[in-house]
Copies of this chain bind each other. A is one copy, B any other.
Amino acid sequence: MRQNWWKWGDPNEIKHLSDYPKLRDMVEERWKTKLREDFFPPKKISIPPIPEKKKDLIKDIFASIHPKKISFSADDRLSVALGKSYLDVIRIFNGNAFAVPDVVLKPTSHEEIQTILTKASESNVHLIPFGGGTNVVGALTISETNSKPTAICTIDLRNYKRSISIDEEHLTATFEAGILGPELEKILNNKGYTLGHFPQSFEYSTLGGWIVTRSAGQESTYYGKIEDIVERIKVATPSGTLESNPFSHDASGINILSLFVGSEGTLGVVTEITVKIKKLPKNYRWVIALFPTFRNGNNYLKALAQSGVKPSVVRLSDANETNLFSKMSSSEEQEPNLFNNLKKEAQKFILQWKNLTEPCVCILRFPQGDFSVSSQLILAKDLVSKHDGMVAPNTIGDKWADSRFKLPYLRDTLVEHSIYIDTMETLVHWKDTMKLHQALNRELSKSVAFNKQKGIFLAHISHIYPNAACMYFTLITPMQKGREIEQWQEIKNIATNTIINNNGSVSHHHSVGADHQRWYKLFSDNLALEVLVSIKNKLDPKGIMNPGKLFS
């Protein structure tokens, strides 16, 4: 296993804090401390080997699976034990105890997956489906349960990733669940199509993972969330294989498709997935705007969503995030950087509006295909001035696009410097967005775990609907060494309670996982949960699928 296996992404893409000198200076000044330069390696995690007798038992249960697809290696087992949340990373860093599966199965066909589920159910083997492993809310964490399984097994779907068909007559495509974002997009792009689904985890997450977590891409305002994109699925369950209706939009009774969207591996493994595909845009058009306050920008986006204008990318940063991002550029002597232009504009903007020193940047991108979206752009720009904003140069947009999947790298870098950094997101009605923003600011600045006013709280709006917006929060503060997990939990509690108290959803696109389950159970309809349990009992009567998650 490579040294930095726990890190995000491609080792060549890793950024160091020295790449962001202004960010570093700001943080050191704010926290009156020098940040460590040297990386501290994660503590050695000891993975107890599986006793030979247990191995033989497991091999026997899965006798019909090729031995090469069954791995007991510590490296394999460790690599699928966790997701990519801050909690996951600090557990690894500090060598904290966490459960690791006994075995990793690597099926390559629906039939193999079905066999695994059937055999596991017969023998009380717990199964955790694993896609790209990028979940940030503990969906992959092995939960403690009362039952005593024969073994705990992760189904690693990363080798189950063929393109089954591209149907150009109907603009649909069928893939196996384990295909990664870039693999899928490459296949589609080569024929002139796109799925339009680009979560920040895009490069390392899978189609199947997107479905079972109810994922949203950064362009979901135009392309829809994954529940809008999926047309049909095939699912392996302990009780057998099922397929949803051939059409997502007919009237042939109840379509069970949506039962599996957001099911987080509790009902089975979604295997073959037919998605709607779109023609690749011919070009993109940007609207970049600066607003004097977050509230102005917020009201702008509400008006935009309610006018029917459909940008794909939407990102309105609050003043803190706008300011911090401008600090993430390299020194100004170097190559043209992300926010030089923005800063120049911001200065002009500040001059124009005396006393307004904290502009908020808003980035919109419109895909343009067979017909012009100019009339939408005209309205989008019109509305900017109606909401006291000003239109800024487009160049910022292209630079955002270059760095759109890079932020997870910075997270690892900050953790290495003993900095706590976590992100949270929620779907919240427009009436509550600004209240929630203020409440989070207020509650966090009272928290010792967050270092009170010294903690850095960033927010942006990233997906818009006529009735609601997805708000995304980034929290940064010095790590409380020795009590990292307690610190994380304290801040998580404050943030999630504040979100829930302001009528936000438990999640807009990260799912429930282990981390949100408490709130999910508390705020879900009781009878609805009972219905889900009855479905679980039908499809997974022995309770072997991702036990302890969601309603179980």
Contact = CB atoms under 8 A, between A and B. Distances in A.
B242 A525 contact: yes
A468 B250 CA distance: 10
Interface string A506-538: 111111100010001001111110111011011
A315 interface: no
Interface in A472-528: 503, 505-512, 516, 520, 523-528
Interface stretch (A7-15, A86-94, A258-266, A404-412): A258-266
B251 A262 contact: yes
Interface string A436-470: 00000000000000000000000000000111100
Given A170-B431, A251-B511, A531-B256, A371 B261 contact: no
B525 A531 contact: no
B259 A531 contact: yes
Interface stretch (A16-24, A117-125, A303-311): A303-311
Interface string A186-225: 0000000000000000000000000001111000000001
A262 B253 CA distance: 5
A343 to B, nearest CB: 32
A378 interface: yes
A243 interface: yes
Interface in A399-429: 426-427, 429
A374 interface: yes
B225 A249 contact: yes
A227 B48 CA distance: 50
Given A258-B254, A427-B250, A243 B528 contact: yes
Contact of A527 (B240, B260, B278, B309): B240
A538 B530 contact: yes
Contacts of A263: 253-254
A538 B505 CA distance: 26
Given A370-B307, A371-B376, A537-B534, A170 B466 contact: yes
A306 to B, nearest CB: 6
A278 B307 CA distance: 9
B171 A507 contact: no
A216 B250 CA distance: 9
B512 A231 contact: no
A245 interface: yes
A236 B239 CA distance: 30
A250 B505 contact: yes
A242 B532 CA distance: 12
Contact of A430 (B170, B306, B467): B170
Contacts of A256: 525, 528, 531-532
A262 B258 contact: no
Contact of A524 (B241, B253, B507, B551): B253
B252 A307 contact: no
A330 interface: no
A300 to B, nearest CB: 14
Given A258-B258, A373-B375, A535-B531, A172 B251 contact: no
A550 B172 contact: no
B379 A252 contact: no
A149 interface: no
A355 interface: no
A279 interface: yes
B371 A465 contact: no
Contacts of A374: 375
A170 B467 contact: yes
Contacts of A508: 249-251
A542 interface: no
Contact of A254 (B376, B526, B550): B550
A126 interface: no
Contacts of A429: 169-170
A373 B374 CA distance: 10
Contacts of A537: 534
A252 B430 contact: no
Given A373-B375, A378-B371, A505-B247, A252 B538 contact: no
Interface in A370-386: 370-376, 378-379
A550 to B, nearest CB: 5
A524 B371 contact: no
A369 interface: yes
A383 to B, nearest CB: 9
Interface of A: 167, 169-172, 213-216, 225, 227, 231, 237, 239-247, 249-264, 276, 278-279, 306-309, 369-376, 378-379, 426-427, 429-431, 465-468, 503, 505-512, 516, 520, 523-528, 530-532, 534-535, 537-539, 550-551
8 contacts: A241-B527, A245-B524, A249-B468, A250-B508, A252-B523, A253-B512, A256-B525, A258-B259
